[in-house]
Structure 1
Amino acid sequence: MRRVIPGLIAAVLALTSGLARADTLRMECPPSKEGRQFCSFIKQQFEAQTGHTLAFISLPPASNEKLSLFQQLFAAKDSGAIDLFQADTVWIGVLDKHLLDLTDSVADIRNDFFPTSLQNDIVNGRVKAIPAYMDAGALFYRKDLLEKYGEKPPVTWTDLTRIATRVQQGEREAGHKNFWGLVFQGKAYEGLTCNALEWVESQKGGSFIDAQGNITINNSRAAQALDMAAAWVGKIVPPGSLGYMEEESRSVFQNGDALFMRNWPYAYMLAEDRSSAIRGKVGVMPLPKSEDGTSVSTMGGWHWAISAYTKNPKAAIALLKIVSSAESQKKALALTGWAPSRTALYDDPEVLAQAPYLADFKEVFIHAKPRPATQTKRQYAQVSKAIYNATYNVLRGDSDGATAVAELQQRLERIKARGWR
């Protein structure tokens, strides 16, 4: 990594050399054909409306490399590298001091976005980004199999466990020996943190760390949630799921070998592809909850942010508003498939005619909850690692829920020490 990043910085600076005029702004542009078409659309609007010039740069596709590049550019307070860029959901707290304060500038549009998504972008009461597009965990299910067994989509985790057990048994007795009731992302990585948050918070076990930064994981409801998930493994969930990430889960489900799947919205479009074995048979819904809880989906997605070191903050804010407008979000959906972050677009006939599946995701996005990244700031990576390792140990049977949450509480207290920073 130490050899790669300097080269990336040099490439960025080389791309922007000769464009140092204050009226030239630099925006991140996806490298795909569709991404370039979207950027061209934004360029035409921005230059026509403001009289400024818009230039584009490409950034590393790998999220960790991209974050490392930003951290080095911002540490140098480089005002010529980039003005507007996309930040991952969990970066806002990490990059907080390097992001332009948007609080007053976006007061007129902040209520246009999904509330929980915008809340992710608020650090210490200040708006530091605007949601670019939505992503959240959802429950996918086989509509044909639920109909075959006379079942309805599950509302609670108890429903899911019962239905998955019944259908799995029935399908295996019918000759489908490798059929499972449920698949999810069980590998010890960030995806398991997302699953764990959904299990715990949907059963009133809290969010590991609350909005004020208090560590809350050591409680009986959180312990029960982890024990519930562990009880699935080997019964309705394949043991191999402890090595699954998103694509491994999708492969099992899309091959027709599972009834339920927890995954992100991208899986829906692939499941409906012409080559899919389950095309036309897939439903999607918010994740289940406990009998007295509420459905919770972990929020993913990316957010538009402006470098605090921009030479022209007024023009950068104008660009931000153009790129996040309803018209631009419709164009991004058409070209790149980005799910809009503006709530009203999910009731827009033009949007629903273009992407009817989005009607199923509106409720999922409403229930989306951010990971405890904004409040834990630069320590989030340590926090997430502690969460997914503790959860993995319970799933693997090396610990029980009560022991795991007590030890995780202590581990997070040590990471926090004198405060999140």
Structure 2
Amino acid sequence: MKKAIAIVSLTAAFAAASHSGAVTLTFACDSVGSGYDECQKGANAWAKQTGNTVKLLQVPKETDQRLALYQQQLGAKSGDVDVYMIDVVWPGLIGQHLLDLKKYIPQADVSRHFPAIVQNNTIGGKLVGMPFFTDAGVLYYRTDLLKKYGYTAAPKTWNELATMAQKIQAGERKTNPKFVGYVFQGKNYEGLTCDALEWISSFGGGSIVDPSGKITVNNDKAVAALRTIQGLVGTISPSAVTTYGEEEARNVWQAGNSAFMRNWPYAYAAGQEEGSAVKGKIGVAALPAGPGGKPAATLGGWQLAVNAYSKNPKEAASLVQYMTSLQEQKRRAIEASYNPTIATLYKDPAVLKAVPFFGSLYDVFTNAVARPATVTGSKYNQVSDAFSTAVYNVLTKKTAPGPALKTLEGQLSRIKGRGW
């Protein structure tokens, strides 16, 4: 009974938030995996409750392209888009163009979310984004193929992954020439920054720039990490992996053409859909560790923010409040395996039934490695671009790992010299 009353009260609150005259909001949400459809479901539910209308925009899949588009719009002080879905590393880049949600969303709602993410989204005392879903890189593996080739558990180290993938790839290629051992995000974009930070951190090589602002990326462990991954390209990973983003990797995996994949949690629900070649054969584990290191997962995740130039800030904040609510995060977790930002949902029986690894990998999600966005501030994009380009040059064998990181160190020093 209490639950029913709570939902009725929430519905009434959203209905009350609407003006007597209905408005149309424009929402730049998601386009990766089932992201667009899931955003549409939530937006439609809010619209039905409030009598307003939400128009969803198709946005670029690549985060770099998305950010460039948003910066162009916000820099022009355009109010064409009311609500943006923003990456966890963007608040410091575009926060000055976003509304302070503390003025619109009750503290009781804000305090349900992971405190670290709320803190990440608070710039100069302003809450510029509400946590929508969190993310961390994970290792997907084929449970049926591990069993077939005599393995009882996912690989714990990168060397184990290479050995296992090589054996499975050799066996499967006898009947499927397209089969590969391992796919990941190797294209030169923000996704490669995420993957490469995991590699380096898992070897004990740090996080590019440390929290004090010191450039740490040029070290022996980081060199060893890049040398190891460079050795995977063209052996257990196809040479074309250097053109893969999240969706390209997922398409290979979901077609049944890969033994292992690095991706975000959203790929689990997509892989379990009807018609997927890997449905019922998906295992999820922490990513491998380097020698003497420990598994590392890059912190990802997305927030919902209101454009400070929106002509309908009250309604836009109401949409954000609904989309980030416990009931909507629960629905998205169950239906599409999006990681909630509300801790209690990781113990919810319905969520754990739908996505069992949310329970076993809870520590991976809550202890993920952050990209150096906070310390580098407005220069983060330049830092990330320089890092991903250096790593890309290693993967494509244009540069050896040692010289690549030495050059990168110089580039980062020049960026730092301009102030971060």
Structure 1, unmatched stretches of 5+, are: 1-18, 48-52
Shift in Å, 1:310: 6.3
- 2:134 corresponds in structure 1 to 134
Matches within 5 A, 1:161-240: 161-172=162-173, 178-240=178-240
In 1, distance between residues paired with 2:94 and 2:53? 23
- 2:3 corresponds in structure 1 to none
In 1, distance between residues paired with 2:331 and 2:281? 28
Matches within 5 A, 1:91-170: 91-101=90-100, 108=108, 112-114=112-114, 117-118=117-118, 120-123=120-123, 127-151=127-151, 152-170=153-171
Shift in Å, 1:391: 0.7
In 2, distance between residues paired with 1:91 and 1:21? 34
- 2:288 corresponds in structure 1 to 288
Residues 33-54 of structure 1 deviation map (CA, whole Å, 9 limit, x = unaligned):
6544422433466x5xxxxx85
In 2, distance between residues paired with 1:60 and 1:374? 28
In 2, distance between residues paired with 1:77 and 1:242? 36
Residues 101, 150 of structure 1: CA spacing in aligned structure 2 closer, same or farther, 3 A cutoff?
same
Would the aligned equivalents of 1:93 and 1:375 in 2 still touch at CA under 8 Å?
A: no
Query: Which amino acid letter does the alignment assign opposite residue 43 of structure 2?
Result: C
Residues 243-286 of structure 1 deviation map (CA, whole Å, 9 limit, x = unaligned):
33333323333333322111222322332233222322111112
Shift in Å, 1:29: 6.7
Residues 357, 36 of structure 1: CA spacing in aligned structure 2 closer, same or farther, 3 A cutoff?
same
In 2, distance between residues paired with 1:374 and 1:409? 19
How many residues matched? 394
- 1:85 corresponds in structure 2 to 84
- 1:271 corresponds in structure 2 to 271
Shift in Å, 1:160: 1.7
Shift in Å, 1:114: 4.2
Shift in Å, 1:198: 0.8
- 2:302 corresponds in structure 1 to 302
In 1, distance between residues paired with 2:37 and 2:195? 33
Q: Percent identity?
A: 40
Shift in Å, 1:74: 3.7
Matched position secondary structure for 2:93: coil
Shift in Å, 1:232: 1.6
Residues 240, 117 of structure 1: CA spacing in aligned structure 2 closer, same or farther, 3 A cutoff?
same
After alignment, is 331-340 or 138-147 more displaced? 331-340
Residues 204, 114 of structure 1: CA spacing in aligned structure 2 closer, same or farther, 3 A cutoff?
farther
- 2:46 corresponds in structure 1 to 42
Residues 317, 269 of structure 1: CA spacing in aligned structure 2 closer, same or farther, 3 A cutoff?
closer
In 2, distance between residues paired with 1:233 and 1:347? 39
Matched position secondary structure for 1:188: coil
Shift in Å, 1:419: 0.9
In 2, distance between residues paired with 1:209 and 1:169? 39
In 2, distance between residues paired with 1:318 and 1:334? 23
Residues 128, 202 of structure 1: CA spacing in aligned structure 2 closer, same or farther, 3 A cutoff?
farther
Would the aligned equivalents of 1:93 and 1:376 in 2 still touch at CA under 8 Å?
A: no
In 1, distance between residues paired with 2:169 and 2:275? 24
Which TM-score applies when normalising by structure 1?
0.78
After alignment, is 406-415 or 114-123 more displaced? 114-123
Residues 294-332 of structure 1 deviation map (CA, whole Å, 9 limit, x = unaligned):
322223332022344568978876664443221232244
Would the aligned equivalents of 2:25 and 2:82 in 1 still touch at CA under 8 Å?
A: yes
- 2:416 corresponds in structure 1 to 416
Work out whether 1:388 is the aligned partner of 2:388. Answer: yes
Would the aligned equivalents of 2:28 and 2:83 in 1 still touch at CA under 8 Å?
A: no
In 1, distance between residues paired with 2:288 and 2:262? 10
Matched position secondary structure for 1:194: helix
Would the aligned equivalents of 2:130 and 2:305 in 1 still touch at CA under 8 Å?
A: yes
In 2, distance between residues paired with 1:72 and 1:411? 26
Matched position secondary structure for 1:329: helix
- 2:59 corresponds in structure 1 to 61
Residues 379, 83 of structure 1: CA spacing in aligned structure 2 closer, same or farther, 3 A cutoff?
same
Work out whether 1:28 is the aligned partner of 2:27. Answer: yes
In 2, distance between residues paired with 1:36 and 1:234? 40
Matches within 5 A, 1:399-410: 399-410=399-410
Matched position secondary structure for 2:155: coil
Shift in Å, 1:348: 0.7
Shift in Å, 1:230: 0.9
Matched position secondary structure for 2:303: strand
Which TM-score applies when normalising by structure 2?
0.79
Residues 227, 115 of structure 1: CA spacing in aligned structure 2 closer, same or farther, 3 A cutoff?
farther
Work out whether 1:365 is the aligned partner of 2:369. Answer: no
Residues 247, 55 of structure 1: CA spacing in aligned structure 2 closer, same or farther, 3 A cutoff?
closer
Residues 181, 246 of structure 1: CA spacing in aligned structure 2 closer, same or farther, 3 A cutoff?
same
In 2, distance between residues paired with 1:366 and 1:399? 35
In 2, distance between residues paired with 1:361 and 1:118? 21
After alignment, is 242-251 or 359-368 more displaced? 359-368
Query: Which amino acid letter does the alignment assign opposite residue 247 of structure 2?
Result: E
Matched position secondary structure for 2:214: coil
Query: Which amino acid letter does the alignment assign opposite residue 155 of structure 1?
Result: K
- 1:15 corresponds in structure 2 to none
Query: Which amino acid letter does the alignment assign opposite residue 54 of structure 2?
Result: F
Would the aligned equivalents of 2:46 and 2:322 in 1 still touch at CA under 8 Å?
A: yes
Residues 74, 251 of structure 1: CA spacing in aligned structure 2 closer, same or farther, 3 A cutoff?
closer
Matched position secondary structure for 1:210: coil
Shift in Å, 1:388: 1.6
Residues 64, 339 of structure 1: CA spacing in aligned structure 2 closer, same or farther, 3 A cutoff?
same
In 2, distance between residues paired with 1:201 and 1:171? 32
Matched position secondary structure for 1:387: helix
In 1, distance between residues paired with 2:23 and 2:191? 38
- 2:327 corresponds in structure 1 to 327
